[in-house]
Amino acid sequence: MSENPLGLPPPFDAMRSPFDELIGSEILSTDPDGARARIPMREQLSQPFGLMHGGVYSGAVEGLCSLATAIAVWGQGMVTLGQSINVNFVRPVTAGNADVRARARHRGRTTWIWAAEVLDDEERLCATATMTMAVRPRPEGAG
Amino acid sequence: MSENPLGLPPPFDAMRSPFDELIGSEILSTDPDGARARIPMREQLSQPFGLMHGGVYSGAVEGLCSLATAIAVWGQGMVTLGQSINVNFVRPVTAGNADVRARARHRGRTTWIWAAEVLDDEERLCATATMTMAVRPRPEGAG
Amino acid sequence: MSENPLGLPPPFDAMRSPFDELIGSEILSTDPDGARARIPMREQLSQPFGLMHGGVYSGAVEGLCSLATAIAVWGQGMVTLGQSINVNFVRPVTAGNADVRARARHRGRTTWIWAAEVLDDEERLCATATMTMAVRPRPEGAG
Amino acid sequence: MSENPLGLPPPFDAMRSPFDELIGSEILSTDPDGARARIPMREQLSQPFGLMHGGVYSGAVEGLCSLATAIAVWGQGMVTLGQSINVNFVRPVTAGNADVRARARHRGRTTWIWAAEVLDDEERLCATATMTMAVRPRPEGAG
């Protein structure tokens, strides 16, 4: 994200998320009505039987929802932290990309709730997820 | 795990989980009454503010519970797949280790349910998790 | 449901769910793409501060998704049982109706997953829920 | 609870929860290290096949954790509201009592997290649950 292809506002334009880079999650959109990320499958992301590890889904959903919430609430002097995640695994991804699509279903003063899905390249549902973000005032001096 | 320090039974002694290796999760015990794994914090596992990314917790819990269930049901001709995970984030890990401790609360014919916790080096609770594993007959030819 | 206004197929036309009757949940549709139920608020459904108790939401979501799944899989010789539910509470219902709307997001051989929402009379989101149903072969002699 | 057998502090001694009364949940202890409630099975609590409806479990867990949290935080000028619940159903209750046992696993400034189990009269595990309570300052004039 160092080249800021999404046109993120400061300070997010200069921000790196090392774990999202480690799993290779590419943020495509941070729009709360259609946030998206894509993770290309590779051998390092697999569990023992060659399927994409469920932890990759969880990590990608959390990274995407966290960034999208953070950008949306920053202007009101707020920061956000993941509070809980719930993932249901439906179908394995073995090749191609995992496509994460999330929509903010609730945008409250203290809590945001996201509904997310993970699809494969044939648009088949591979996982559903709910991500809850806590929203809190930005500490003095931050930003 | 290639040196099999846990004394895992075949075929698990020769098995690798590339994603668990990527995040650096070290399996310490696969006992259903006290399964444990440890993930040393390092910069690559962090989110933008230097905290261990929640996806690391989710991935480590899933990897641990999957392996421990697989070993336990293999002898009955069964295999297992993650069905759902629920994680509540309580406190960030910024240094040292994340210690994952899991206990099988239900060991059914078609479903196992694990209760897990993530603690830091001072034994403070950092996350709680519930992992549900589907248990199914081993496909012909497997193993 | 004794008069079968929904035109449910046997044996569901003659079936009663005492707990759904106790909370007053009225099934409006069992279509997996748009299942609906409505619970009129009344004093007996409240918690100490006069808000609709969260257990009413959970019960209504489970009752609706259970019936809709049961009807859909019965013809293939299958029955269904609730496996897990996850509910996020967003806004209280204090008067009028709680409107439960559910859609089957996954219809697998052994598992169905429903995404549900609870809305108030002004179409405001009051809760989101995910309901997982286990689907199993019908026992001999059933039905 | 009108006779206050638990010796609850004001204002909880005079408080009624109509829905908990409707399902017949009897609070036995509100100790955060061992909160308990019991629901005697009766026909009105069943789903179509005579099993205790999952909504009863959810409602009883939420009622118990809500009351126990409320009592614990009231003295610090705080109130609490249910934020989310996650229930895994393991075994049906068909007769006798459902025994709900809950323990506060996290008691934070803004969030409490409870781990709960539902057992039958033979001490068999029937459900596991996680309940998250939001804790907020008491509105002016309350109490």
Query: Which among C21, C26, C43, C62 is annotated as catalytic?
Result: C62
What one-letter code names the amino acid at C16? R
**How many C-beta neighbours within 10 Å does residue B68 have?**
28
- C111 to B83: CB separation less than 8 angstroms, yes or no: yes
b/e sequence C17-32, b meaning 16+ C-beta within 10 Å: bebbebbbbbbbebeb
Pick the more confident residue, D3 or D94.
D94
Q: Which of A117, A111, A143 is nearest to A130 (CA)?
A: A117
Residue C34 has pLDDT above 90, yes or no: yes
What pLDDT does D140 receive? 72
Mean pLDDT, all residues of chain A: 94
Question: Among A9-13, D17-21, D33-37, D71-75, where is mean pLDDT lowest?
Answer: A9-13
Of B113, B117, B128, the CB nearest to D90: B113
Residue D143 has pLDDT above 50, yes or no: no
- Evaluate whether B70 touches B79 at the Cβ level (below 8 Å): yes
What pLDDT does C143 receive? 47
**pLDDT tier for residue D5 given thresholds of 50, 70 and 90:** confident
CA distance linking residue A77 with residue C115, whole number of Å: 32
Residue A5 has pLDDT above 90, yes or no: no
Which residue, among B84, B90, B128, would best test binding to A if mutated, counting the most A CBs under 10 Å from its CB?
B84
CA distance linking residue C21 with residue D82, whole number of Å: 24
Which of B 40-99 lie inside 8 A of A, CB atoms?
A: 43-48, 53-56, 58-60, 62-63, 66, 81-89, 92
Beta-bridge partners for C107: C112
Residue A142 has pLDDT above 70, yes or no: no
What pLDDT does C142 receive? 54
Residue C135 has pLDDT above 80, yes or no: yes
Q: Which chains are adjacent to chain A, needing at least 3 Cβ pairs under 8 Å? A: B, C, D
Angle at A25 between CA A24 and CA A29, to 5 degrees: 150
CA distance linking residue B88 with residue A82, whole number of Å: 9
**Stated pTM of the model:** 0.94
What pLDDT does B139 receive? 85
Residues of A in contact with C111 (CB under 8 A): 90
Q: What share of chain C has pLDDT > 90, as a percent? A: 90
Q: Which of A103, D91, D124, A128 is nearest to B83 (CA)?
A: A128
pLDDT by residue (tens digit) across A58-88? 999 999 999 999 999 999 999 999 999 999 9
The predicted model gives D42-68 an average pLDDT of: 97
What pLDDT does B141 receive? 60
Residues of A in contact with B45 (CB under 8 A): 18-19, 22
What pLDDT does C17 receive? 95
Phi-psi bin for A141: left (phi > 0), alpha (psi -120 to 50), beta?
Answer: left
pLDDT by residue (tens digit) across C52-63? 999 999 999 999
Work out how many CB contacts closer than 8 A connect B with C: 15
Mean pLDDT, all residues of chain C: 94
Q: Which helix (H) or strand (E) holds A141?
A: none
pLDDT by residue (tens digit) across B50-86? 999 999 999 999 999 999 999 999 999 999 999 999 9
**pLDDT tier for residue A141 given thresholds of 50, 70 and 90:** low
pLDDT by residue (tens digit) across B102-129? 999 999 999 999 999 999 999 999 999 9
Side-chain half-sphere CA neighbours of D56 within 13 A: 35
The predicted model gives D29-54 an average pLDDT of: 97
**pLDDT tier for residue D141 given thresholds of 50, 70 and 90:** low
The predicted model gives C64-78 an average pLDDT of: 96
pLDDT by residue (tens digit) across B80-96? 999 999 999 999 999 99
Mean pLDDT, all residues of chain D: 94
